[in-house]
Each structure stands twice: as C-alpha cells, then as structure tokens.
C-alpha cells in the first residue's frame, strides 16, 4: 500500500511582511467565506493579504483589506476586490480572540492562505506590533546570521 507524501496543502499566498512587523503569540486555522468568482480568482492565485487584518463585527470575525482580483469571465456577477470576508471559526474561539483584542491589545493578522482538501483556508496569527527598535534588532540578527554562515562556508 502506498503512503501519501502530499499533505493536501496548496499554498496560495504568504504574508511575509507580517513576521517582520509583528510578534506572533500563536497561530490558528480558519475557513473563509468566498463567492463563486472569488474562489475562481483564488484558484488562479490572484490574492494579496499583505495589508489585511481581522476585526470583530456583530460577534463575527471579518477579514478586511484583503485583495482578491476580479475574475475576468464573471462579467456582471463579479465581486468587489476589497470586500470584507467573513472568517469561519467556532463561537468559543471567536469570543476568546475578541477578548484578547480588547483586553490585551493584540491584533489578528493573516499569515498565509491555502487550500486544504479543496477548501480555502487562512492561517491567522494573534500578534502584537513590533516597535522600530525591535525591527532593527531583528534585521541586524538576520544579517549577522547570513554573514556568519558565509564565513563558515569560506573557512571550511
């Protein structure tokens, strides 16, 4: 019997800027409600979640500022690229996230969007913003690690 090597994940887009701008406390997976023309665009990979974030509206979490390009063949039934999109989570998870946002000053940032068993999913990070000196220190560390690897490669 053959073992499955593919985990069933097909990554659509990543938010590399998020790890530079935020400290992540933990990650969680959520579903996302999409219209027909939106899912067609997502399958083509025309998605940008770099500047997006999640907020609470009427007891639900909504993804704001995520750009899904208009689907060319949808004509009159097309969607708006910067529409708000509802996130699918359990009620307890939503209330816990809302509490963290209000009490502790955390924000919810998407880190990547992917397909899992044919369904569009989004990975959310509960994050706290970095200050300017934190960003400089992270960049300095990254540069030093790169230079250190270069020195080790040259000497051996």
Domains in the chain (CATH in brackets) are 9-130 (2.40.280.10)
Q: Given pLDDT bands bounded at 50, 70 and 90, which one contains residue 110?
A: very high
- Tens of pLDDT, residue by residue over 3-25, are 454 567 889 999 988 888 888 99
- Tens of pLDDT, residue by residue over 34-58, are 988 899 999 998 999 999 999 999 9
Rounded to an integer, the average pLDDT of 95-112 is 89
Rounded to an integer, the average pLDDT of 91-100 is 91
Token output for 138: 């992270």
| Beta pairing class for 107-116 and 9-14 | antiparallel
pTM of full prediction above 0.95: no
Residue pair 114/121 in contact by the 8 Å Cβ criterion: yes
- Note the pLDDT of residue 29: 94
**Beta-carbon contacts of residue 17 (< 8 Å; ≥ 6 apart):** 50
Q: What percentage of the chain exceeds 70 in pLDDT?
A: 96
DSSP line for 74-108 = GGGG---TT--EEEE--HHHHHHHHHHHHHH--EE
Q: Given pLDDT bands bounded at 50, 70 and 90, which one contains residue 77?
A: confident
In the three-class reduction of DSSP (H, G, I as helix; E, B as strand; rest coil), residue 11 is classed as strand
Instruction: Look at phi and psi of residue 21 and say left if phi exceeds 0, alpha if psi is from -120 to 50, else beta.
Output: alpha
- CA 26 – CA 23 distance, rounded (Å): 9
């Amino acid at each position: 019997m053959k073992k499955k090597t593919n985990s069933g994940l097909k990554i659509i887009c990543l938010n590399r800027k998020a790890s530079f701008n935020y400290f992540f406390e933990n990650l969680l997976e959520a579903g996302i409600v999409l219209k027909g023309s939106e899912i067609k665009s997502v399958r083509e990979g025309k998605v940008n979640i770099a500047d997006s974030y999640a907020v609470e509206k009427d007891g639900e979490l909504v993804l704001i500022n995520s750009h899904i390009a208009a689907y060319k063949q949808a004509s009159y039934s097309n969607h708006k690229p910067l529409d708000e999109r509802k996130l699918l989570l359990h009620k307890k998870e939503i209330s816990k996230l809302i509490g963290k946002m209000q009490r502790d000053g955390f924000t919810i940032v998407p880190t990547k969007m992917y397909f899992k068993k044919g369904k569009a999913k989004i990975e959310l990070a509960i994050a706290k913003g970095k200050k300017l000196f934190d960003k400089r220190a992270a960049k300095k560390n990254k540069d030093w690690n790169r230079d250190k690897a270069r020195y080790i490669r040259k000497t051996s």
